[in-house]
Structure formats: C-alpha cells, structure tokens
Amino acid sequence: MLMTTTARPGRLTPEHLWLADDEDKLVVSVLAPEVAGAARHDTTGPVTIVTPCPVRRAGGLHPTRPAPVGLHTPRTGAARLAWAGTTGSAAAAAGGAWAAGPWAGTALIVAGAAVTAWQALRRYTRTAHRWAEGHQVLTRHEDRDVINRAAQNVRAIAASWPRLRTHVALDDPSPALVDQLWELTLRVSERATARQRGQDLRAAAVDVPTGSRVALELTDQMTQVDRAVARLDRAIDQRQADLWRLADHVHAFVTEQEMLARAHATTRSADQHRNVPSAEPGETATGELTDHTAAVLAAYRELTQRPALDGSSRP
C-alpha cells in the first residue's frame, strides 16, 4: 500500500503530536485531526492518542469499523468568530442608528463585518498552513507500527520523568521527545515514498529491452533509490533503538526506586516493632539509583545529540 505524504515540513518544531488510527491509516499531526464520529483522546506528556469509536457504515446493521480520520484542515472556529463578529456589529449598528442615524449604523455593521472576515481568514490561513506542513499519513502497517511503538516509548518516558526530577538535572524532556518522534515520522514517510518510487521503476523496467539506454538509466535510478532506502532504514532503526533504550533505562530507574522504597518501608516497620531506630538507605542503594540516573542521562544525550539525517530520500 502507498503512503501519502504532505508537503515537506522543513524545520517545523512541534510542541505536541496527535496520533489517530482508523485502521486504514495513521495520521500524525501537530494539530488535533478531525474524526467523522466519536473518538477517545488519551494524552500523556507531549503525545495524544486519538482512538475513533466504531461506527455503522452504509448498509450495515452494527458498528463495525472505527470512524474515519479526516485529512482536511481542522476547523479553526472561524465560522464562530464570524458569527460573533457579525452579531456584535449588528448590536453596535443598532446603537449607532439610534444615536446618529441609520447611515452610521450601516457603516458600523459593514466595518465590523469586514474586520471579522479578515480575522477569520487570517486564522484559517494560519491553520491551513500549519496543517499542510504538520501532518503525515501512513498507510503501511509496518510504518504505522514503527510510529506507534515509538509513541508508546515517548509517553512512557514522559509519564515516568517526574520520578527522576530530583535526580536528573533536566526538568521536562517533552520538547526533545516530541521532536524526535516527529523526526522519526518524517524519516518513515520518506522511506515509504522511496520504496514506492523503487516499485514504480521496477514496473517500468519490465518491458524495456535489456542493455538499452533506457534500461541502463532505470537500473541506475533503482540503485540510487535502493541506497536511499538503506540509508533511511539505518536512521529509522537507530532512532527506534535510542527511544527504546531511554525508555528502558527510565523504567529500570523507576522499578529500582520502587523496590528500594518498599524494602525501606519493610525495614522501618520491623524496626518499629522492635523499638529500634530506623536506618537510612545505605550507600549501596543510593549508588544503584545513581547508576541508573547516569544511564538515563547517557541514553538521553545519545538520543538528542544524534545528527539528523539530511531530509531528502531522493538520490
């Protein structure tokens, strides 16, 4: 299946990402996508998972498939803004007509409507531009699985990070995490486009005489596309591994912290029964947490300092 991509986002830096999957496609976007039906929204850290609820399709008796996720520009409230502005202008016009005559009221309502329309158009234009640059549509199951797994790791890290704040000199990793997830989405998008390009070239070469100039040109292009796909494969695998490693170290830290807390609570309870003073956690316990903290920081640096793959998968 072919994956549809939007215009290249360039240097877009998202603050939050929405992931919406309707079984036909996964939409990853910097704006909340619209769903043609009810949907559940689950936000953890900088990522919101949008799960469309089942709907009844035409001719069906029961809800069977998720409501489709829309690919159009999400509503911006421009219509509500226009209606509110027109209503306000009409109210002002009524006052103006009472105070200064009907011509003043007419001028007020025209001016108010013009300003409202301009503001609504500006809002819609900004939203449409951000949507065009800030969404990707993945249809291959393999590609969707890559992003879903990466999003799970990002959400797990963000959810557990407050437990590390007293040990790690980094307040909130969400901006870096969401940037890495978006970068991974772009690389997956480019790889799918390159793969489709390779399939098209191979299909075009079927009936071309072997050894002809056209055949040689097609072979050269296929070789370049294959190299681009291999380069993207390596970049995607590395980013997946970096996110998984960071999530694993964060989980290990939290698990160790909980285990030490339970052990200390058990020891304190036993000491209270024996009427003896409770000892503070020893250096060994503190050292184990320090080791996990160092591993978390190393994994975070490795993830965020890795150079981005130069954007295009074109040869």
Q: Measured in whole angstroms, how far is the alpha carbon of residue 172 from the centre of its chain?
A: 17
DSSP string, 11-69: T---S-EEEEE-SS-EEEESSPPPBSS-EEEEEETTEEEEEEPEEPPTT-SS--EEPPB
Cα separation, 49 vs 39, whole angstroms: 10
User: Exposed, middle or buried: residue 182 (CB in 10 Å: 0-12, 13-18, 19+)?
Assistant: buried
| pLDDT (mean) for 190-216 | 91
pLDDT, position 186: 95
For the chain, give the number of residues.
Answer: 315
For residues 157 and 170, is the Cβ–Cβ distance under 8 A? no
Reduced to 3 states (helix: H, G, I; strand: E, B; else coil), residue 120 is: helix
Residue 268, both tokens: 């304190």
Q: Measured in whole angstroms, how far is the alpha carbon of residue 55 from the centre of its chain?
A: 25
pLDDT band at 15 (very low <50, low <70, confident <90, very high): very high
pLDDT in tens, 32-49: 999 999 999 999 999 999
pLDDT, position 57: 67
pLDDT in tens, 252-309: 888 887 776 666 666 666 656 666 555 555 444 455 566 667 788 788 888 888 776 5
**104 vs 256 pLDDT, higher one:** 256
User: Taking 90 as the threshold, does the pLDDT of residue 16 lie above it?
Assistant: yes
pLDDT band at 64 (very low <50, low <70, confident <90, very high): confident
Q: What is the rounded average pLDDT for all residues in the chain?
A: 78
pLDDT, position 115: 60
Q: What angle do CA 276, 279, 282 make, to 5 degrees?
A: 155
R_g over Cα of the chain: 28
pLDDT, position 35: 93
| pLDDT (mean) for 59-81 | 72
Cα separation, 175 vs 30, whole angstroms: 13
In the chain, where are the structural domains located? 1-55+73-139, 140-304
pLDDT band at 2 (very low <50, low <70, confident <90, very high): very low
| pLDDT (mean) for 69-95 | 60
pLDDT in tens, 105-154: 565 556 656 666 656 566 767 878 888 899 999 999 999 999 999 999 99
pLDDT, position 88: 53
User: Taking 50 as the threshold, does the pLDDT of residue 311 lie above it?
Assistant: no
For residues 231 and 203, is the Cβ–Cβ distance under 8 A? no
Cα separation, 304 vs 39, whole angstroms: 33
